[in-house]
């Protein structure tokens, strides 16, 4: 109950947990299973080190997110802004990829997830500013 109060209600807590689960999945793929991304997006075996480098940025953000889950969001506005900026840039790059090469390997589900995370980030950022 204290955790729900610290997060300003059940909705914020649930949205934050969904956000962290998505980030955790992405961290798992980039750090422990980069070949899944190589196969899914037809990137080639030479892209594995770059994918793991991306994972070195994703994993610390996940660790901070898990810490904030238990500590509460007070004073962590920069974390929420960072999540918003990352999600927004992923959506913009997805659009750019789609417009440049319409039949590329970008999956429609990825775009929906990207937009959903932008909406979640907007809600969380505006609630904890």
Question: What is the DSSP annotation of 13-79?
Answer: HHHHHHHHHHHHHHHHHHHT-HHHHHHHHT--GGGHHHHHHHHHHHHHHHHHHHHHHHH-STT-HHH
Q: Tell me the per-residue pLDDT of 19-77, one tens digit each, with 9 for 90 and over.
A: 999 999 999 999 999 999 999 888 899 999 999 999 999 999 999 999 999 999 999 99
Residue 110 has pLDDT above 60, yes or no: yes
Verdict on whether the full-model pTM lies above 0.85: yes
Domain limits of the chain?
Answer: 2-127
Cα gap 110→64, rounded to integer Å: 24
Alpha carbons 97 and 106: distance in angstroms, whole number: 8
**pLDDT tens readout for residues 36-45:** 999 988 889 9
Using a 10 angstrom Cβ sphere, with 0-12 exposed, 13-18 middle and 19 or more buried, the burial of residue 26 is: buried
Is the pLDDT score of 106 beyond 70?
no
Note the pLDDT of residue 129.
Answer: 56
Region 103-112 average pLDDT: 69
CA 114: distance to chain centroid?
8
pLDDT at 15 (0 to 100)? 96
Banded model confidence at residue 103, pLDDT cuts 50, 70, 90: low
């Amino acid at each position: 109950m204290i955790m729900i109060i610290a997060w300003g209600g059940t909705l914020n807590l649930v949205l934050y947990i969904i956000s962290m689960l998505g980030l955790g999945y992405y961290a798992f793929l980039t750090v422990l299973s980069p070949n899944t991304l190589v196969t899914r997006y037809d990137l080639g075996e030479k892209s594995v080190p770059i994918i793991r480098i991306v994972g070195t940025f994703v994993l610390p953000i996940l660790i901070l997110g898990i810490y904030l889950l238990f500590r509460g969001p007070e004073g962590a506005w920069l974390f929420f802004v960072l999540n918003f900026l990352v999600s927004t840039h992923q959506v913009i790059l997805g659009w750019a990829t789609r417009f440049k090469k319409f039949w590329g390997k970008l999956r429609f589900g990825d775009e929906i997830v990207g937009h959903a995370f932008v909406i979640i980030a907007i809600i969380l950022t505006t609630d904890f500013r």
